[in-house]
């Protein structure tokens, strides 16, 4: 039997094993069967025998066909399709179109090259150039893979070659340093903004569904996570320079190379200016839209329409963007499954079980313990989305039981915000990791070691966030 066949069989066996086990005390048979499907989907997301979106869609289909989400066929199909009417899912989709606009107009590439031109004379400056390039793109690219691996990687990976630093020849001269800064920084910026990582938005929706409507707005997220992440953003290149230094300390050729690349691009185009203006407008509406009565998703979709009408991107670009449609189907199915956990009584049951075991802890000790556990468990996940889907509903159910009502919003922001920084701990921890690891400049042992150091620092900041904001 082939490896793919075995991997396809494993989720089925998980489903059957749990399905035919007796339901735990306090949980209905219907709820237990729903949880069995959910477990099978999580296993499928981890090992990915088929594309992740298909795993989610199969799970939703099984629940609907088995009648686990409603008393009638109509109720079940309404539930199965409910994720597609979710505004957060369409905000993610719209943000993918923003990323496409950056890439197609060349604005993302121009920003990165300008940073290198003016900051890349030394290796440390080069590190900060990569960092600020990521920062400027982060609010508008919910795919850190598109941002870091798709936009920054093709530019940054050429710089070590100027100095003859390759995986086989002096990787520590410059290449390893650049690769580590790039992945570490994109982990930080992914936590900094709500729209910098797609699972952030998924987590926000799971929080709303599992906590009787705790709504996390773009501005509320930024108010907590931006001040918390700025110190990490500023010290990450310097810390890399100190504990994993390049042997090439100065890089005068890098600005010259960036200048030559900018000359090839030519003068900034009208479409680039238009894209920058529309991105800025979106950012303003995401921050202040609530005060003006403008919904964040409505603003994003409207701006995408303007992008198409002004030919920043074409309609063909929209309909052919496989990544965006894949994420839409994927997240819509996961949102439906997560909402079903509450409807089937699973989350209420988890809350009761937790109450019996955690009643002796103070709220602060509980929140710190939950933060550490949520972070460390990422070692077992190769997908931030799978991590979010599997654990966020459980942690939300526990928090609702034990955390004060006035503390829920900041705690949920911090818990969701940790999804970005936890991606640094393994070579598979976040979307762009395989690209930067696959460049060959950093050995697996070195990556795990650096991941432990930087992961420990990032986790420390998240724990400090609990004490600062709660």
In 3D space, the residue among 437, 350, 363 whose CA is nearest the CA of residue 397 turns out to be: 350
Q: What pLDDT sits at residue 98?
A: 87
pLDDT score of 245 more than 90:
yes
Per-residue pLDDT at 287? 83
397 found inside a domain: no
pLDDT confidence band for 381 (50 / 70 / 90): confident
248, part of any domain: yes
Indicate whether 179 pLDDT > 80.
yes
Considering the chain, what is the average pLDDT of its residues? Answer: 91
- What local confidence, expressed as pLDDT, does residue 257 receive? 93
pLDDT at 270 over 90: yes
The yes-or-no verdict on residue 244 having pLDDT over 80 is: yes
Token digits of residue 287: 């921050």
Among candidates 433, 378, 464, 375, which has minimal Cα distance to 184? 433
Q: Which residues face 250 on adjacent strands?
A: 122
Task: Write the burial class of residue 301 (CB in 10 Å: 0-12 exposed, 13-18 middle, 19+ buried).
Answer: middle
Structure tokens at 99: 């990323």
pLDDT of residue 200: 95
Which pLDDT score, from 0 to 100, does residue 194 have?
95
Supply the pLDDT for residue 225: 98
Residue 470 pLDDT exceeds 80: yes
**Number of structural domains the chain divides into:** 1
Handedness of CA 185, 191, 193, 198 (dihedral sign): positive
pLDDT tens digit sequence for 409-468: 999 999 999 999 999 999 888 989 988 998 999 998 999 999 999 999 999 999 999 999
- Give the pLDDT mean for 224-244: 97
Q: Tell me the pTM.
A: 0.86
**Contact (CB, 8 A) for 101 and 148:** no
Confidence at residue 86, expressed as pLDDT on a 0 to 100 scale:
85
pLDDT of residue 340: 87
Mean pLDDT over 255-269 rounds to: 93
In a domain, 103, yes or no: yes
Q: What is the pLDDT of residue 355?
A: 72
Model confidence at 185, pLDDT cuts 50, 70, 90, reads very high
Asked if residue 355 belongs to a domain, the reply is no
Is residue 202 domain-resident?
A: no
468 assigned to some structural domain? no
The rounded radius of gyration (Å) of the Cα atoms in the chain is 23
Distance CA 6, CA 48 (A): 11
pLDDT tier at 168 (50, 70, 90 boundaries)? very high
pLDDT tens, residue by residue, 346-365: 888 877 777 777 777 888 99
What pLDDT, on the 0 to 100 scale, is given for residue 411? Answer: 97
Q: How far, in Å, CA of 417 to CA of 171, rounded? A: 33
pLDDT value for 227: 97
The confidence score (pLDDT) of residue 277 equals: 95
Mean pLDDT of 280-306: 89
Expressed as residue numbers, the domain containing 114 is 87-197+217-322
pLDDT attached to residue 215? 92
Q: What's the pLDDT score for residue 345?
A: 87
């Amino acid at each position: 039997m082939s490896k793919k066949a075995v991997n396809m069989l494993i989720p089925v066996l998980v489903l059957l094993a749990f399905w035919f086990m007796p339901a735990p005390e306090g949980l209905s048979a219907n709820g237990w069967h729903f949880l069995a499907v959910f477990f099978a989907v999580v296993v499928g997301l981890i090992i990915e025998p088929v594309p992740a979106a298909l795993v989610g869609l199969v799970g939703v289909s099984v629940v609907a066909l088995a009648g686990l989400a409603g008393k009638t066929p109509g109720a079940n199909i309404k539930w199965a399709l409910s994720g597609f009417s979710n505004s957060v899912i369409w905000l993610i989709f719209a943000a993918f179109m923003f990323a496409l606009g950056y890439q197609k107009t060349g604005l993302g590439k121009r920003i990165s090259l300008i940073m290198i031109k003016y900051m890349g004379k030394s290796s440390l400056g080069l590190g900060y150039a990569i960092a600020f390039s990521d920062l400027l793109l982060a609010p508008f690219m919910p795919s850190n893979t598109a941002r870091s691996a798709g936009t920054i990687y093709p530019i940054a990976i050429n710089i070590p070659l100027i100095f003859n630093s390759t995986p086989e020849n002096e990787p520590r001269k410059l290449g390893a340093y650049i690769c580590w800064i790039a992945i570490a920084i994109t982990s930080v910026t992914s936590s900094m903004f709500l729209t910098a990582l797609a699972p952030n938005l998924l987590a926000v929706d799971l929080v709303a569904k599992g906590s009787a409507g705790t709504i996390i707005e773009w501005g509320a997220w930024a108010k907590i996570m931006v001040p918390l992440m700025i110190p990490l953003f500023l010290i990450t290149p310097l810390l890399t320079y100190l504990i994993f230094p390049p042997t090439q300390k100065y890089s005068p050729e890098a600005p010259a190379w960036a200048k030559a690349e900018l000359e090839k691009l030519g003068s900034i185009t009208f479409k680039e200016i238009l894209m920058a203006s529309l991105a800025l407008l979106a950012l303003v509406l995401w921050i202040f839209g609530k005060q003006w009565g403008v919904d964040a998703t409505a603003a994003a979709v409207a701006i995408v329409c303007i992008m198409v009408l002004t030919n920043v991107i074409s309609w063909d670009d929209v309909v052919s963007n496989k990544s965006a449609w894949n994420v839409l189907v994927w997240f819509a199915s996961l949102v439906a499954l997560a909402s079903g956990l509450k409807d089937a009584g699973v989350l209420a049951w988890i809350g009761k079980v937790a109450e019996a075991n955690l009643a002796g802890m103070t709220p602060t000790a509980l929140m710190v313990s939950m933060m550490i556990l949520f972070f460390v468990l990422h070692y077992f996940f190769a997908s931030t989305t799978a991590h979010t889907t599997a654990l966020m509903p459980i942690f939300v159910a526990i928090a609702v039981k034990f955390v004060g009502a006035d503390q829920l919003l900041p705690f949920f922001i911090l818990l969701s915000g940790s999804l970005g920084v936890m991606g640094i701990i393994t070579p598979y921890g976040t979307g762009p990791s395989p690209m930067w690891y696959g460049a060959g400049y950093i050995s697996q042992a070195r990556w795990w070691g650096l991941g432990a150091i930087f992961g420990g620092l990032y986790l420390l900041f998240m724990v400090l966030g609990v004490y600062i904001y709660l």
